Amino acid sequence: MSSAMPPAHPTPDAAAPTAPPVAATRPHERVFHGDVVNDEYEWLRDKEDPETLAYLDAENAWTQVRTAHLAELRQQLFDEIKAHTQETDLSVPTRVGDYWYYGRSIEGKEYGISCRCPVDSPDDWTPPQLDATTEVGAEIPGEEILLDSNELAEGHEFFSLGGASVSPDGTLLAYAVDVVGDERYTVRVKDLRTGEVLGDEITGVLGGGTWDAEGTTLFYATVDESWRPDKIWRHRLGSPVEDDVVVHHETDERFWTGVGRTRSDKYLVISSGSKTTTEFRVLEADDPTGEFRVVTPRRQGVEYGLEHAVIGGEDVFCILHNDGALDFELAVMPVTGTDHEAWTPLIPHTPGVRLEDVDAFAGHLMVSQRSDGLTRVRVLPLGPDGITDDYLMEFDEAVFTVGVGANPEFSQPSVRIGYTSLVTPPTVADYHVADRTTEVRKQTPVLGDFDPAAYEQHREWATAADGTRVPISIVCKRDVPRDGTAPLLLYGYGSYEASMDPWFSIARLSLLDRGAVFAIAHVRGGGEMGRQWYEDGKLLKKKNTFTDFVACAEHLVASGWTAPDRLVAEGGSAGGLLMGAVANLAPDLFAGIIAAVPFVDALTTILDPSLPLTVIEWEEWGNPVADPETYAYMKSYTPYENIAARRYPPILAETSLHDTRVFYVEAAKWVARLRAVTPEHHDILLKTEMSAGHGGVSGRYQAWHDRAFSYAWALDRMGLAEVAPS
């Protein structure tokens, strides 16, 4: 299928460079704990400096030169993604109040369209079977277009729709947009009865807004100069924004704050949290001008989550906490309680069973948990006297990911769940608690000749240097040999207790169908194996993340899955830090490394409290400003600090100019120094999106082009650039 979009990466013209750019060096001294460091590329931090922009442009031009031979392959990959994707589609409708809400995508359009249609009756809980090919607003009874993001994006190089929240009575829509990529949104309100966008316009908002019970008041969060969400505001609809009131100011620089409303619609909730400690405040949603009250005061090192439930006829708060419970336990407390001594265990702590979330409904509780490296869902039906049962939902595949999906209604009798695996496309189903049956509502279509039976997935375990067993998830075509000849892309992350659970990818089929293997290294620092897995990959144990990844790569080579001359590694953000670290640790183990928005200059960032999120991050990485041991430890592993004159594999570093989470300068400095110590190395590349943020380009077609660029580079490093899919 040919592309309807212009090529995202045109072939360089005759004026293209013939040698890689060389960044100027400028003295920039810093001194911490007696250690004097000259950071000669720190000048690249000034993105207003014409020399900085010129350098980034020169790097982009060089990347185009070194990848020009892949232009046709990039187009092929884009076309394959497009051909496998049902471009005109719609999501499974979700009921909220008197309407079914759903999203549409239209062939040829970059962005989605948000719609709704009325329910047939108050007892209608079966989603309507809507025809995705029906013209918007044409034949679906009562269909309304809430937002067309394609219209909102007109005239902007970047567009992101943040939070969109309908008022409880269904008449107003508060929505947030970002047209820069810096994640600072503007909130507007649309009257769904008239289509008019009201005069209320709130700028500098993080995410979106939360309505009170009457739909007359919006609560929202703003950030401070270091991009920390620190204030919650109250806005009365129709009043000047200048009159908005701060209802909570989080003054502890380690904490961030946010606001929401419980599923029961009874409470407004303000959350405050650091990396290790949380606290919640609540207010009845029908009393928006009242005072928020603390549920349980914060205690250093104690994390808890809050969910309103009705158990045995009594209003309670479900408290998921780690007080004396490493992998968390579920407790309940009276809604009037104010102390942790009021917490009564409901699901006691079980080591190795990490409780991650609880969703409360009128007739049941759903607990999301994980054990043995897999996600699970536990069901707790409720009767007049409380919980009547407790069991796990069962699934057939050995490797899978399952989770509770969008379930906005407290009284709904079924629960929407999401399921996927490395070979199973994302599946949306409704689980009927009363009879324990699952009804599949939709599985993401994969067009063309896709047959899940043609692929196989595996779970293997590598052994780290300290004897720890590290899980690896693997997917490949069934005919892939195990003699070391197969190319392989190994993905990793390993920070913030974020789990890289197995997921299906249409774009990945282009790798698998050319004979490549895809694997995920579930390294320490993530949350795949419980809270201890995370604790053993942070602070002064951070190096376990990197050595685990190397152990996984070595296992895949030793067990015949691949060989170093065809093994490519990939990771992004904190996973980009992982990529930079393994490039220093084991450069001969990889044929190429893809580092997306990489956190490779971590020490410089964590040393500067004025930078976005730095103080918050001290509980993840340590505080090198105050602690000489942390400083020395971080300096011993951060990629930028440990570049040396050694053989590096080809590296593709991808970043975005407007990223507020990991600044573009980290990748730019890293590449500049890498090239300085290996000047003859022409395949260390920097690609900077000049109109994007942390998530990369906006728009699905541009995102496909972006993925095609990365995968074409990876296939080239694997020796598969000339191989056709089969």
CA–CA separation, 589 and 648 (whole Å): 10
Supply the DSSP symbol for 524: B
CA–CA separation, 588 and 583 (whole Å): 8
Residue 710 designated active-site? no
Sign, Cα dihedral of 627, 632, 636, 640? positive
Tell me the pairing of strands 99-105 and 89-90: antiparallel
Q: Give the position of tokens 């970043």.
A: 655
| Radius of gyration of the chain, Cα coordinates, nearest whole angstrom | 26
Give me the long-range contacts of 630-634 (CB less than 8 A, separation at least 24). Answer: 630/539, 630/540, 631/32, 631/33, 631/35, 631/603, 631/607, 632/33, 633/540, 633/542, 634/542, 634/602, 634/603, 634/606
Which residues have C-beta within 8 Å of that of residue 497, sequence separation ≥ 6? 525, 526, 527, 531, 534
| Run of H or E including 532 | helix 531-535
Catalytic residue among 308, 321, 555, 694: 694
Catalytic residue among 167, 271, 495, 573: 573
CA–CA separation, 431 and 380 (whole Å): 13
CA–CA separation, 241 and 235 (whole Å): 7
Contact 366, 359 (CB under 8 A): yes
Per DSSP, the residues of 415-426 read EEEEEE-SSS--
Beta bridge mates, 258: 271
Phi then psi for residue 66, to 5 deg, are -75, -15
Residue 694 designated active-site? yes
Question: Judging by beta carbons within 10 Å of its beta carbon (0-12, 13-18, 19+), is residue 61 exposed, middle or buried?
Answer: middle
Reading the block at residue 12, the tokens are 């360089």
The type of residue at 674 is L
Which residues have C-beta within 8 Å of that of residue 122, sequence separation ≥ 6? none
Phi then psi for residue 483, to 5 deg, are -115, 15
Q: What is the 3-state secondary structure (H, E, C) of 97-162?
A: CCEEEEEEECCCCCCCEEEEEECCCCCCCCCCCCCCCCCCCCCCCCCEEEEEHHHHCCCCCCCEEE
Catalytic residue among 39, 182, 212, 659: 659
Give the total residue count for the chain: 726
CA–CA separation, 591 and 719 (whole Å): 10
- Residues designated catalytic: 573, 659, 694
